[in-house]
Amino acid sequence: KKRIFSGIQPSGYFTLGNYLGALKNWVTLQNDYDCIFCVVDLHALTVRQEPKHLRKRTYDSFVQLLACGIDPQKALLFIQSYVSAHTELAWILDCYTYMGELNRMTQFKDKAEKHSDNINAGLFTYPSLMAADILLYQTDLVPVGDDQKQHIELTRDLANRFNNTYSPTFMVPEGYYPKTGARIMSLQEPEKKMSKSDENENGFIMLLEEPSMIMKKIKRAVTDSENEVRYDRENKAGISNLMEIYSSLTEKSFEEIENEFKGIGYGEFKIAVGEAVIKELDPIQKRFKELSSDKAYVEKLIQEGAQKAEALAYKTLRKVKKKIGLYQVK
């Protein structure tokens, strides 16, 4: 079986963008692949977090993944900071990553602009920690949204660089992107991607959001002055984004959607989109409620996941240390 690895930050509550771009795929893939999914709490430290909020969001992130349908019988689910091999390999990879490469990363540029009061070194080296996450597990495929393409490319470059400098050590992973939903845009600024850490809460929909609020946010979504449901990313970014959401939830093509809403205005289209979102999220919300109160069960899973991940990660880390010349007593 091929190995899959992917992670998500507890930097906020999961959004519809996270779900359509990544999580929905994870749930399907766990049946056919050897899957490892991770709550990457160390990545979340690259922007300032309130400790008690981070702690709660990390727990809730773990539970949200279970609620989405990640099955701990099928997939390995764990929290990044429990496995110190991630930061150890990240340091090593930092020493093989060029400043110039990190400088080109658009996520760094975007986040540095947004958090101009806290442009820390971790924000800059985020991609080598992400590379460490992936490479530790000898990953074949990384299911992520479009926004992570550049980081996946860098991970591949680092794997190749290391393998060529020493000898084959890391599997060179490939990105796995969904056909629709790979880049869901903000409902308020449809030229920007939807992000769970956006300060404008009207820009995103959370998986755990109240149905009435979901409908309200979609009704408020920015569109254009026409009243024609037509896919045109350039000139009709808002409507195209809603079509993308609707398409990935209903599996209808853009053409089918255009026909379905021909001569019908945006108002009715938005209601249809809102209803599709609410319907999809309803079972997730129910499961979240059930699971999150069972703390003993969740914490047992957190610990079991960490132990399994640790065993796998240290295998790769030991190999790496040996190859680069770190002294190890046998």
190 binds ligand ATP (CB under 6 A): no
111 in catalytic set: yes
Separation CA 188–CA 231 (nearest Å): 18
Q: Choose, from 52, 74, 109, 111, the residue flagged as catalytic.
A: 111
196 binds ligand ATP (CB under 6 A): yes
DSSP for 199-226?
S-GGG--BTT--HHHHHHHHHT----SS
The one segment of 5-13, 126-134, 280-288, 301-309 that binds ligand ATP by CB under 6 A: 5-13
70 binds ligand ATP (CB under 6 A): no
**Separation in Å, CA 109 to CA 104, 115, 121:** 8, 10, 13
The CB density around residue 215, as the number of other CB atoms within 10 Å, is 19
In this chain, which of 89, 184, 187, 284 binds ligand ATP, going by CB under 6 A?
184
Q: What sign for the dihedral angle of Cα 190, 195, 196, 201?
A: negative
The one segment of 19-27, 88-96, 121-129, 258-266 that binds ligand ATP by CB under 6 A: 19-27
173 binds ligand ATP (CB under 6 A): no
The one segment of 59-67, 188-196, 209-217, 267-275 that binds ligand ATP by CB under 6 A: 188-196
DSSP for 261-317?
TTT--HHHHHHHHHHHHHHHHHHHHHHHHHHHT-HHHHHHHHHHHHHHHHHHHHHHH
Task: Look up residue 153 and give its two tokens.
Answer: 């490319």
Nearer to ligand ATP by Cβ, of 163 and 197: the residue is 197
Q: Which residues contact 101 (CB under 8 A, 6 or more apart)?
A: 127, 154, 157
Separation CA 71–CA 74 (nearest Å): 5
Q: Choose, from 196, 217, 236, 270, the residue flagged as catalytic.
A: 196
CB 1 within 8 A of CB 34: yes
Nearer to ligand ATP by Cβ, of 113 and 329: the residue is 113
Separation CA 23–CA 6 (nearest Å): 9
56 in catalytic set: no
123 binds ligand ATP (CB under 6 A): no
The one segment of 132-140, 193-201, 247-255, 298-306 that binds ligand ATP by CB under 6 A: 193-201
Q: Is 147 annotated as a binding residue?
A: yes
Compute the radius of gyration of the chain from its Cα atoms: 21
The one segment of 61-69, 144-152, 163-171, 284-292 that binds ligand ATP by CB under 6 A: 144-152
Nearer to ligand ATP by Cβ, of 94 and 198: the residue is 198
The CB density around residue 297, as the number of other CB atoms within 10 Å, is 13
The CB density around residue 234, as the number of other CB atoms within 10 Å, is 6
Find the residue with minimal CB distance to ligand ATP. 21
Closest residue by Cα to residue 148 from 119, 178, 169, 122: 178
In this chain, which of 3, 15, 135, 214 binds ligand ATP, going by CB under 6 A?
15
17 binds ligand ATP (CB under 6 A): yes
193 in catalytic set: yes
- Min dist CB 1 to ligand ATP, Å, is 21
The enclosing H or E element of 7 equals strand 3-8
Angle at 76 between CA 74 and CA 60, to 5 degrees: 105
Q: Choose, from 193, 217, 236, 270, the residue flagged as catalytic.
A: 193
Q: How many residues bind ligand ATP (CB under 6 A)?
A: 22
Q: Is 41 annotated as a binding residue?
A: no
- Min dist CB 149 to ligand ATP, Å, is 9
Nearer to ligand ATP by Cβ, of 64 and 148: the residue is 148
- Contact residues for ligand ATP, defined by CB under 6 A: 8-9, 11-12, 15, 17-18, 20-22, 144-145, 147-148, 182-184, 193-197
Q: What are the catalytic residues?
A: 111, 193, 196
Tell me the binding residues for ATP.
Answer: 9-11, 17-18, 145-147, 184, 193-197
